[in-house]
C-alpha cells in the first residue's frame, strides 16, 4: 500500500468529497507516465521554480520530498476519464493514454485558513481547452465551498506565478482570482531557470531570482459572485 502523503489541510466541519476527475498522485501508477510526458514536453517546466528531473528516479525523489513528505501539499494527476475505464485507473500501463496534466494543493495552512493551487502542468495538446478550467476549478470549489456544500470553507485561495509567465496570471484572473501585486525577488531559482531581472555581478547567491505575481480569491469574493462565475465557465464544457 502507498500512503498518498501526510497532507493535513484545514479540518472541514462536516463530511467532504475530494474532486473526482482528479486523482491523488501515486508513484506506482503515475510516476512513469508523468515523467515521460514532462520529458517529451520540456517546455512545460520553463517557469517552474525547480530543476527538471533528469531520470525517473530523480522524479520519484522530487515527488516524495516535495509533496508526500510535506504536510501542506497534495499532488494530483489530471485524467481524461472518457479514455480510462474505472477498472483501468489502477493500471499504470493504461494511465498514460488518459494523462492530461498535473496540479497540486500547496501552502495549505490551518492557522491562516488558506491554500493554493500549484505545480499546474497542462500538457501542450490540452492547453487552450477546458482542462485547466475544470481541474483548477474543482480545487477552488473544494477549497472555498462551505462544509455544508462539501468543501473546506477556507478564507483564501491564492495563486502565485513567475511574473514573466504572462499567461499564468491571465488564466487565474479568468477563473476569478484578483491581482494583489508583484513580490520582487521573491524566490531563488535554479541556475538553468530564467531570472525575472538581471542580478548584480557580485550577488551573494549568484543565482537567478523570481518576481512573483500574486493573486487571490477570498471567501467574500467567492460568496459575492465568484462561485457562480466559475460554475458558468465549467458548465460551458460540461
pLDDT per residue over 192-213, tens digit each?
999 999 999 899 999 999 999 9
Averaged over 30-57, what is the pLDDT?
97
Strand, helix or coil for residue 125: helix
More confident residue, 86 or 35: 35
Strand, helix or coil for residue 235: helix
- Strand 114-122 to 74-79 pairing: unpaired
pLDDT at 232: 97
pLDDT at 5: 52
With bands split at pLDDT 50, 70 and 90, how would you rate the model's confidence at 12?
very low
pLDDT per residue over 161-177, tens digit each?
999 999 999 999 999 99
Distances (CA, A) of 144 to 9, 45, 151, 165: 13, 28, 6, 26
pLDDT at 48: 97
Residue written as cell 488564466? 171
Distances (CA, A) of 172 to 27, 86, 155, 157: 28, 31, 17, 11
Instruction: Answer whether CATH 3.40.630.30 is correct for domain 22-235.
Output: yes
- Partnered with residue 116 across adjacent β-strands are 106
pLDDT at 19: 45
pLDDT at 85: 74
Whether pLDDT at 216 is above 50? yes
With bands split at pLDDT 50, 70 and 90, how would you rate the model's confidence at 81?
confident
Taking the alpha carbons at both ends of the chain, their separation in whole angstroms is 34
More confident residue, 10 or 207: 207
Q: How far apart are CA 120 and CA 122, in angstroms?
A: 7
With bands split at pLDDT 50, 70 and 90, how would you rate the model's confidence at 93?
confident
pLDDT at 25: 85
Which pairs count as long-range contacts for 50-53, CB under 8 Å and 24+ apart, including other chains?
50/190, 51/190, 51/192, 51/193
Q: How far apart are CA 132 and CA 231, in angstroms?
A: 14
**Grid cell for residue 154:** 477556507
- Partnered with residue 209 across adjacent β-strands are 188
pLDDT at 60: 96
Q: Kindly report which listed range (4-13, 59-68, 107-116, 185-194) carries the lowest average pLDDT score.
A: 4-13
pLDDT at 94: 84
pLDDT per residue over 121-145, tens digit each?
999 999 999 999 999 999 999 999 9
Domain boundaries, given as residue ranges, for the chain: 22-235
pLDDT at 90: 72
More confident residue, 1 or 203: 203
Whether pLDDT at 68 is above 80? yes
Amino acid at each position: 500500500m502507498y500512503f498518498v502523503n501526510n497532507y493535513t489541510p484545514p479540518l472541514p466541519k462536516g463530511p467532504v468529497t475530494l474532486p473526482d476527475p482528479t486523482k491523488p498522485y501515486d508513484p506506482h501508477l503515475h510516476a512513469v507516465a508523468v515523467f515521460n510526458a514532462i520529458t517529451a514536453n520540456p517546455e512545460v517546466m520553463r517557469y517552474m521554480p525547480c530543476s527538471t528531473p533528469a531520470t525517473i528516479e530523480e522524479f520519484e525523489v522530487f515527488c516524495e520530498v516535495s509533496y508526500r513528505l510535506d504536510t501542506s501539499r497534495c499532488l494530483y494527476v489530471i485524467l481524461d476519464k472518457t479514455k480510462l475505464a474505472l477498472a483501468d485507473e489502477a493500471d499504470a500501463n493504461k494511465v498514460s493514454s488518459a494523462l492530461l496534466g498535473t496540479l497540486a494543493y500547496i501552502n495549505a495552512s490551518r492557522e491562516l485558513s488558506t491554500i493554493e493551487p500549484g505545480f499546474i502542468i497542462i500538457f501542450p495538446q490540452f492547453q487552450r481547452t477546458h482542462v485547466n478550467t475544470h481541474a483548477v476549478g474543482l480545487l477552488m470549489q473544494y477549497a472555498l465551498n462551505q462544509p455544508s456544500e462539501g468543501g473546506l470553507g477556507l478564507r483564501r485561495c491564492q495563486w502565485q506565478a513567475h511574473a514573466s509567465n504572462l499567461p499564468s496570471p491571465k488564466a487565474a484572473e479568468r477563473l476569478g482570482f484578483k491581482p494583489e501585486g508583484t513580490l520582487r525577488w521573491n524566490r531563488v531559482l535554479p541556475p538553468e531557470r530564467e531570472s525575472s531581472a538581471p542580478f548584480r555581478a557580485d550577488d551573494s547567491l549568484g543565482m537567478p531570482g523570481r518576481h512573483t505575481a500574486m493573486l487571490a480569491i477570498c471567501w467574500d469574493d467567492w460568496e459575492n459572485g465568484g462561485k457562480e462565475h466559475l460554475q458558468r465557465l465549467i458548465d460551458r464544457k460540461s
